[in-house]
């Protein structure tokens, strides 16, 4: 005799912000989308971002918010937050979004924004993280998924993974080596959020 | 017909500085000692360091340089450097040596001192590195072997390795998990030095 049906859980409504290729968006579309989560909105700052093509291919609504159509960064961020809010977004994923978010946006989705950063934070925050790591001469490279706060890559760590690259890899080689880690960790973070487990590993 | 005999290479003369258990000293005694390298001297700052017992067990000469028998840290460091120099030490290995070396010592063995540090430098330099990492909430922990310069854990990186520890490990658990990495990386660094390859991975 079959047991009672599993409690139907509503997929988590995810909004993605991207600026470029959108490979992390694609990783979400290929894994959690349509299962634990539903990507319901893609916001881009660049009209030629390939991420827009990927969203269209998956039937995900997208909008472009170019910098020059808004008087200030705060106004743009308010417009993005308003659209995501109207779409019922519960979790925001930064998937290669190159603009720094203002407190207007961070405050609107406090504790519900995750970013993937190509270093083992707290080492090498900010831009060109891989180039920083290569210049420093490290042998272990990695990826961090973290909550976004008002600082630059300072929010609580959710997930990390690493790879040892002996020899003298170029930044491009490190970038390629880290991609699979990003594409694994980011869906895992969304799965956790869908289960209501999106919390820091430890009190930091 | 056998080929010509391999060029006999003289083992690298290694001096070790330790303060406590001496497990990294033991790792050297169990691997490179008597092969690529010869541990010819152990200097301790503590008379009750178990490292002294390990050295005695392997027939390695040791000396204790207690802090209170020298007027200043510089004088103690000069005495240690003089003894290691007299023993013909070519490479100095810091194996759990808890005192900070003064420029007197670093200058005497410039570019020929290696240290093993229980973090993925440049993250978490200085004392209580594992506790720092646990408090920060990282998921990837690691070990760095680096050249010693006049800064605190700022010298060029030679080797690194990492381990992912999901969940919420205690500092003690991280410590135990990192030990095998230390015991593998430190002998590897000595092997490289014996081959004349003790150089940073990349220009930092």
Q: What are the residue ranges spanned by the domains of chain A?
A: 12-194
- Write out chain B residues lying below 8 Å of A138, CB-based: 120-122, 157, 160, 201
d(CA B36, CA B154) in angstroms, rounded, equals 27
Q: How confident is the model at residue B203 (pLDDT cuts 50, 70, 90)?
A: very low
| pLDDT at A202 > cutoff 80 | no
What local confidence, expressed as pLDDT, does residue A4 receive?
52
- Write out chain B residues lying below 8 Å of A162, CB-based: 120, 140, 142, 162, 164
For the CA atoms of B15, B120, A172, A180, what is the dihedral angle to 10 degrees?
A: 130
Chain A closest-CA separation from residue B134 CA (Å):
8
Task: Return the CATH architecture of domain B12-194.
Answer: 3-Layer(aba) Sandwich (3.40)
Whether residues A164 and B162 touch (CB distance < 8 A) is answered with yes
Q: Which residue has the tokens 């989560």?
A: A37
The active-site residue out of B35, B70, B117, B136 is B117
What local confidence, expressed as pLDDT, does residue A6 receive?
52
Percent of chain B with pLDDT over 90: 84
Furthest C-alpha separation in chain B: 63
Rounded mean pLDDT, A81-104 = 94
Q: How confident is the model at residue A197 (pLDDT cuts 50, 70, 90)?
A: confident
What local confidence, expressed as pLDDT, does residue B200 receive?
61
Is residue A204 within 8 A of residue B168, CB to CB? The reply is no
Could you confirm whether A70 is annotated as catalytic?
no
Rounded mean pLDDT, B150-178 = 94
The 3-state secondary structure of B122-173, one letter per residue: CCCCCCCHHHHHHHHCCCEEEEEEEECCCCCCCCCEEEEEEEECCCCCCHHH
| pLDDT at A201 > cutoff 90 | no
Confidence (pTM): 0.89
Each residue of B41-57: pLDDT tens digit?
999 999 999 999 999 99
Q: Measured between CB atoms, does A39 come within 8 Å of chain B?
A: no
Whether residues B138 and A160 touch (CB distance < 8 A) is answered with yes
Q: Measured between CB atoms, does A165 come within 8 Å of chain B?
A: no
Q: How confident is the model at residue B197 (pLDDT cuts 50, 70, 90)?
A: confident
d(CA B73, CA B189) in angstroms, rounded, equals 28
Q: Measured between CB atoms, does B123 come within 8 Å of chain A?
A: yes
What local confidence, expressed as pLDDT, does residue A2 receive?
53
Q: How confident is the model at residue B6 (pLDDT cuts 50, 70, 90)?
A: low
d(CA A24, CA A2) in angstroms, rounded, equals 39
Mean pLDDT of chain A: 92
Mean pLDDT of chain B: 92
Whether residues B162 and A168 touch (CB distance < 8 A) is answered with no
Chain B closest-CA separation from residue A182 CA (Å):
14
Each residue of A5-45: pLDDT tens digit?
555 579 999 999 999 999 999 999 999 999 999 999 999 99
Each residue of A158-179: pLDDT tens digit?
999 999 999 889 999 999 999 9
ipTM (interface predicted TM):
0.85
Higher-confidence residue of B5 and B121: namely B121
Rounded mean pLDDT, A123-142 = 96
Each residue of B140-150: pLDDT tens digit?
999 999 999 98
Each residue of B82-130: pLDDT tens digit?
999 999 999 999 998 988 899 999 999 999 999 999 999 999 999 999 9
Dihedral pair phi/psi, residue B16, rounded to 5°: -115, 140
Rounded mean pLDDT, B23-36 = 97
Could you say which residues from 82 to 121 on chain A have a Cβ atom under 8 Å away from some Cβ of chain B? 120-121
Residue B179 to residues A142, A171, B50: CA-CA distances in angstroms? Answer: 21, 30, 17
Omega within 30 of 0 (cis) for the link into B122: yes
Is residue B42 within 8 A of residue B52, CB to CB? The reply is yes
Rounded mean pLDDT, B175-195 = 96
What local confidence, expressed as pLDDT, does residue A90 receive?
96
């Amino acid at each position: 005799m079959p047991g009672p049906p599993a409690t139907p859980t509503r997929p988590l409504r995810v909004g993605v912000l991207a600026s470029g290729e959108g490979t992390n968006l694609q990783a979400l579309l290929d894994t959690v989308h349509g299962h634990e989560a539903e990507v319901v909105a893609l916001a881009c700052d660049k009209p030629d971002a390939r991420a827009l093509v990927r969203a269209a291919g998956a039937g995900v609504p997208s909008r472009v918010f170019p910098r020059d159509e808004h008087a200030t960064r705060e106004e743009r961020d308010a417009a993005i937050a308003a659209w995501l809010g109207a779409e019922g977004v519960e979790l925001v994923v930064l998937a290669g979004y190159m603009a720094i978010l203002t407190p207007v946006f961070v405050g609107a989705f406090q504790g519900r924004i995750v970013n993937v950063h190509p270093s083992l934070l707290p080492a090498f925050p900010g831009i060109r993280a891989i180039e920083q790591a290569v210049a420093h001469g490290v042998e272990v490279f990695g990826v961090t998924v973290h909550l976004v706060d008002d600082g630059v890559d300072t929010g609580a760590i959710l997930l990390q993974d690493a790879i040892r690259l002996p020899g003298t890899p170029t930044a491009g080689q490190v970038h390629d080596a880290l991609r699979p880690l990003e594409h694994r960790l980011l869906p895992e973070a969304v799965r956790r959020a869908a289960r209501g487990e999106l919390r820091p590993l430890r009190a930091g």
